[in-house]
Amino acid sequence: MLSRKNEFLIRYQTLRDDLRGEILSGKIKPNEYILPENTLSQKYNISRVSVRKVLAELVEEGLIEKITGKGNRVTIPKDGLPVKEKIRLAWFSTSYELEIVKEIIGKYNASQPFAEAELSIIPESSYMESITQLIEGEDGPDVFMISDSHFRQLLDMGKAHLLHPYLSDKMDPQTDSYPKLYELFEYDGQPIITPFLFSPVVVCYNKRLFEQAGISGQDPIHNWTALVDTAKSCTKDTDGDGRIDHYGFCFSSSPHRWPVFMLQNEGTLISDNNECNIDNRNTIEALQFCLDLMYKEQVSPIYSHGSEYMAEALFVKERVAMILSTYYFMNEFRGSTMQWNVCPVPEQKSEGTLLLGGGLGINKNSQRLKLTESFVDFMVGTEAQTLIKKLGCTIPALKHVAEDDSLLDWAIHPKNYNVFQEIMPYTRTLLELKMNTSEFDLLRNEMQLMWMNIEGPGEACGRIVQLINERRAQVMDSVSSKELQ
């Protein structure tokens, strides 16, 4: 339990930091008056004497001036602040958006008289571990990019409490964005992070290889049968040496790819009673279809890999006609001479695909929370989101920018860029699949023999069900034991 002294200090510092943040961010503009002393006293539950001490600090700093009979007015220091208030932003090293983010930071810094953002790049291999260690060591960034995969990792680490929940009021989920994006970052049933960008999983196809195979029509891969037929038409041994030179499709065993087929077949990984049920008929059918693409139909390279980069690399080399990919990875295709486009994933028993995305997490221990919140507001504002759209393929979270066709550049974007709009209603997040990151890691490892066609889906899934349910039972026993202590 906090002592009264500590509680007072927290309220005192909160008042000071809130006022400074609102002034430095421009929320309260020069020549505007801050709230009266008695209002601040009631709002922050501290005495008027303490309020006056906070105001005196701001006067000393040159941020406000006391106007007799009127109150306290925001002012601009004649010589500016000795040092601009720094907002520390962290980003992971492999992000395609790094150069765009640097440009956004430049725009932000140019617009702020009192604040500036500073970018730190952290290796992807240890990104969340580094972020959490820095925050717990009280040297963390004020705000950091966090993908939905990073967020699930943070939940598994039991570190969600390190986040300061913040949803920017500059972007309403219902009217200004897409409600589904907020489900990517839910904790205890509530979203706690402002989305920044996103992408559903779609099919990328090579237009030249399609034309050479005589593939035409609006939707040549509308279901699994059509996908196989189209892939067969594009799979060719062009020089007659017995080797396939162009495959029709490239399957990826990445957990960000293969579950798309499971969703289309109404399969599941975890049942409603929270037990692993990957051995259900619909999921096994979907896994068998994935295997058939490689081993029976022979329209995909027989090479088991979990890397999302491999399929994209083969696609850029024009060795495969179709891949499952995201708008994020479409940035790989920039500068390529190939002609390509996108279309929705095929449906089977139902429509279904995965939704991936990234948001802006705020460090709960930041000493400048209000200022950091205003920076997040800027990042999801029109200017910053427009740069995301104009300079890359990843879709910005701000709806009117995401759907603004005047920002499309055919040297960057696919002709069917807007297909995401028809896909969004049936997207699913990985959180909805109800497996944590360690369980997905187990899944990846235990499926390797199956992807090599050494064992069948039924055998692999039966073993996985036992392993995961045993692990979940152990966790429940451990929790119960702690509660009894």
C-alpha–C-alpha distance, residues 342 and 323, integer Å: 10
The interaxial angle of helices 98-111 and 369-379, nearest 10 deg, is 120
Q: Could you give the CA distance from residue 307 to residue 309 in angstroms, rounded to a whole number? A: 5
Cβ neighbours, 10 Å, residue 372: 26
**pLDDT, one tens digit for every residue, the chain (485 residues):** 455 557 888 888 888 888 888 887 778 888 888 898 888 889 889 888 888 888 888 888 778 888 888 888 888 766 655 567 899 999 999 999 999 999 999 999 998 878 899 999 999 999 999 999 999 998 999 999 999 999 999 999 999 999 999 999 999 999 999 999 999 999 999 999 999 999 999 999 999 999 999 998 778 899 999 999 999 999 999 888 989 999 999 999 999 999 999 999 999 999 999 999 999 999 999 999 999 999 999 999 986 565 667 888 899 999 999 999 999 999 988 878 899 999 999 999 999 999 999 999 999 999 899 899 999 999 999 999 999 999 999 999 999 999 999 999 999 999 999 999 999 999 999 999 999 999 999 999 999 999 999 999 999 999 999 999 999 998 887 766 565 55
Residue 86: other Cβ atoms inside 10 A = 13
* Residue 455 Cα to chain centre, angstroms: 34
Beta-strand relationship, 353-362 and 194-206: antiparallel
Q: Render the burial of 178-214: b for 16+ CB within 10 Å, e for the rest.
A: bebbbbbbbbeeebbbbbbbbbbbbbbbbeebbeebe
Write the DSSP assignment of 198-263 as a string of letters. EEEEEEEEEHHHHHHTT--SS-TTSBHHHHHHHHHHH-B-TTSSSS-SBBS-B----TTTTHHHHH
Q: Which residue has the tokens 């932000």?
A: 108
- Half-sphere exposure of residue 469: CA atoms within 13 angstroms, side-chain side: 16
Q: What is the pLDDT of residue 398?
A: 98
Q: Are 345 and 260 in contact (CB under 8 A)?
A: yes
Domains and CATH numbers, the chain: 4-74 (1.10.10.10), 85-200+357-413 (3.40.190.10)
Q: Give the span between the Cα atoms of 319 and 209, in whole angstroms.
A: 9
| Type of residue found at 120 | S
User: Tokens at residue 69, please?
Assistant: 């009979």
- Residue 200 pairs with which residues in a beta bridge? 355
Tokens coding 463 = 């073993």
Q: Output the pLDDT for position 253.
A: 92
Rounded CA separation 94/482 (Å) = 40
Residue (of 63, 75, 66) closest to 32 by Cα position: 75
Q: What per-residue string of b and e applies to 285-297 under the rule 16 or more CB within 10 Å gives b?
A: bbbbbbbbbbeeb
